[in-house]
């Protein structure tokens, strides 16, 4: 076949799809709303572009992840946030599902395949068991299943040192925009900030949230970026580059502090501790015995604990530290009330299998106002408000009520697989693979802790960040299988 005939055939196929897409969008615009028709056309164009350019599509997702929440200003603009769903589904279909159907899927060691399959099965069962409306159960199931598909989309992308560097650059560029927006908010737009009572100064103070709407969500994103930069500091051999990354890491610290979020602070400390422990173990593994390494880790843990006790006893920071466990603290009281209302009505059987997705609404005296019509016409604001009513500020409590002990064990299985992959890669990978794996280790430690304070699996982009990191960790062990163009050898 000549190049000219091939080009003509491709042009005819593309033109046909353009006509079909235009007609579908026109039908939706005429019979539902013109905004929905416009976004439908935009989403189809995005899906087509990502299908043809999966790697740039992944970059687009990385850039948009922390910026999309600020689009939920109005009902109309809020619909645009569904572009992330389009990118995720297209990446999953192009990189995993379609090659699997055609039997051309390249080999990847997908450590999370089994737990994800069981999580999807159990999620569908719990959605069907939902007593507070099947529609809400489906929406909750969508939040769980959709982002899990991102793991396969990322894992089966081509991977190489050059591609990893490009992804790093896009991630840091997007993070820089978020941090700059945070500076603007702190100095010139305090009215847009969430307020918190400062127990030290006895005043109400603003909490930085930037484009991510809530300080805890912004903080989780900032912690994730800081842990990546920390991994770059620890595994970078060039002194000048290490100094540059360390300076950037220091720049992020004030943003983390100004969230005034206990989940963020504790997650950051635990994540940094995991980074240092993983780096020290990887560097010392060939020089000292495992017994000696265990003694060092225990010693550092004791020193860290004594340091926290000293800080909480002799510095003003101690007021914040003690507020973590003080039941009289307003935020703690609210969480204890959540726990009592959610756990008290549960039977032994429900503790094992859960009550169904979305059923936390009843115990919290909240209502389900969402209807199928709201989804059909793109009423994103009402949909989001209804899903927000299921938040209880503790992911494990929420998962235990909705999905029971079985759901908690499934997530624990996922945590364990990511931890084992990160540790294994640190033992045998080169510098690039070790950076990604060390980041995964620190990210996982912070993520697990932060889930005690926020619904981290159910909020964008904290849910997507987990699967992106997990996919990159899984891919880092297989970078040797690709050349510098990212193609399989």
Phi/psi of residue 206, nearest 5 degrees = -75, 150
Poorest-pLDDT segment among 186-190, 403-407, 428-432, 455-459: 428-432
Q: Taking residues 170-190, what's their average pLDDT?
A: 88
The residues spanned by each domain of the chain are 12-52, 54-74+81-129+146-365+390-481
**Is 80 exceeded by the pLDDT of residue 400?**
yes
Asked whether the beta carbons of 215 and 195 are under 8 A apart, the reply is no
- pLDDT for 48-72, tens place per residue? 889 889 999 999 999 988 888 877 6
Q: Taking residues 347-375, what's their average pLDDT?
A: 63
Q: Please name the residues in contact with 119: beta carbons below 8 A apart, sequence gap of 6 or more.
A: 144, 148, 410, 411, 414
pLDDT score recorded for residue 293: 62
- pLDDT for 273-325, tens place per residue? 888 888 877 766 666 666 666 666 677 667 766 766 666 566 655 555 656 55
- Paired residues of 488 in beta bridges: 482
197: enclosing H helix or E strand: strand 194-198
- pLDDT for 11-33, tens place per residue? 544 554 555 555 555 545 554 55
| Pairing state between β 194-198 and 203-207 | antiparallel
pLDDT score recorded for residue 448: 92
Give dist(CA 225, CA 246) in Å, integer: 13
For the chain, first and last CA: distance in Å?
Answer: 27
Helix (H, G, I), strand (E, B) or coil at 3: helix
pLDDT score recorded for residue 408: 92
- pLDDT for 366-381, tens place per residue? 444 554 444 444 455 5
pLDDT score recorded for residue 72: 63
* Bond before 372 cis per omega within 30 degrees: no
Asked whether the beta carbons of 273 and 445 are under 8 A apart, the reply is yes
- pLDDT for 218-247, tens place per residue? 999 999 999 999 999 888 777 788 888 999
**Is 70 exceeded by the pLDDT of residue 404?**
yes
Instruction: Kindly report the pTM of this predicted structure.
Output: 0.82
């Amino acid at each position: 076949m000549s190049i000219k005939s091939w080009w003509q055939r491709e042009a005819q196929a593309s033109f046909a799809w353009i006509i079909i897409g235009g007609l579908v969008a026109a039908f939706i615009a005429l019979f539902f709303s013109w905004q929905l028709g416009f976004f439908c056309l935009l989403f189809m164009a995005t899906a087509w572009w990502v299908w043809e350019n999966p790697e740039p599509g992944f970059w687009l997702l990385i850039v948009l992840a922390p910026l999309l929440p600020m689009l939920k200003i109005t009902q109309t603009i809020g619909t645009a946030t569904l572009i992330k769903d389009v990118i995720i589904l297209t990446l999953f279909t192009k990189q995993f599902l379609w090659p699997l159907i055609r039997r051309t899927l390249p080999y990847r060691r997908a450590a999370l395949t089994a737990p994800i399959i069981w999580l999807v099965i159990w999620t569908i069962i719990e959605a069907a068991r939902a007593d507070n409306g099947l529609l809400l159960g489906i929406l909750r199931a969508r939040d769980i299943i959709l982002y899990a598909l991102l793991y396969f989309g990322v894992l089966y992308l081509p991977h190489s040192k050059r591609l990893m560097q490009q992804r790093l650059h896009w991630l840091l560029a997007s993070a820089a925009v978020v941090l700059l927006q945070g500076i603007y908010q702190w100095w010139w737009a305090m009215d847009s900030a969430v307020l918190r009572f400062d127990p030290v100064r006895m005043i109400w103070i603003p909490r930085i949230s930037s484009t991510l709407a809530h300080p805890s969500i912004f903080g989780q994103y900032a912690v994730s970026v800081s842990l990546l930069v920390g991994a770059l500091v620890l595994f970078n051999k060039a002194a000048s580059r290490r100094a540059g990354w360390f300076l950037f890491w220091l720049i992020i610290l004030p943003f983390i502090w100004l969230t005034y979020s206990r989940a963020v602070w504790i997650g950051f400390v635990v994540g940094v501790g995991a980074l240092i422990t993983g780096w020290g173990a990887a560097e010392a593994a060939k020089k000292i015995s495992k017994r000696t390494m265990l003694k060092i880790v225990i010693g550092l843990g004791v020193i860290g604990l004594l340091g926290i006790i000293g800080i909480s006893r002799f510095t003003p920071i101690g007021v914040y530290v003690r507020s973590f466990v003080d039941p009289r603290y307003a935020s703690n009281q609210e969480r204890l009330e959540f726990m009592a209302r959610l756990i008290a009505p549960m039977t032994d059987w429900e503790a094992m299998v859960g009550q169904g997705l979305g059923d936390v609404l009843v115990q919290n005296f909240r209502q389900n106002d969402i209807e199928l019509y709201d989804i059909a016409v793109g009423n994103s604001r009402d949909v989001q408000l209804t899903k927000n009513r299921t938040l209880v500020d503790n992911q494990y409590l929420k998962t235990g009520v909705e999905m029971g002990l079985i759901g908690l064990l499934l997530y624990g299985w996922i945590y364990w697989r990511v931890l084992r992959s990160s540790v294994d890669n640190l033992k045998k990978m080169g510098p690039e693979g070790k950076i990604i794996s060390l980041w995964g280790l620190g990210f996982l430690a912070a993520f697990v802790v932060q889930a005690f304070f926020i619904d981290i699996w159910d909020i964008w982009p904290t849910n997507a960040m987990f699967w992106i990191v997990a996919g990159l960790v899984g891919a880092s062990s297989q970078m040797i299988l690709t050349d510098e163009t990212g193609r399989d050898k």
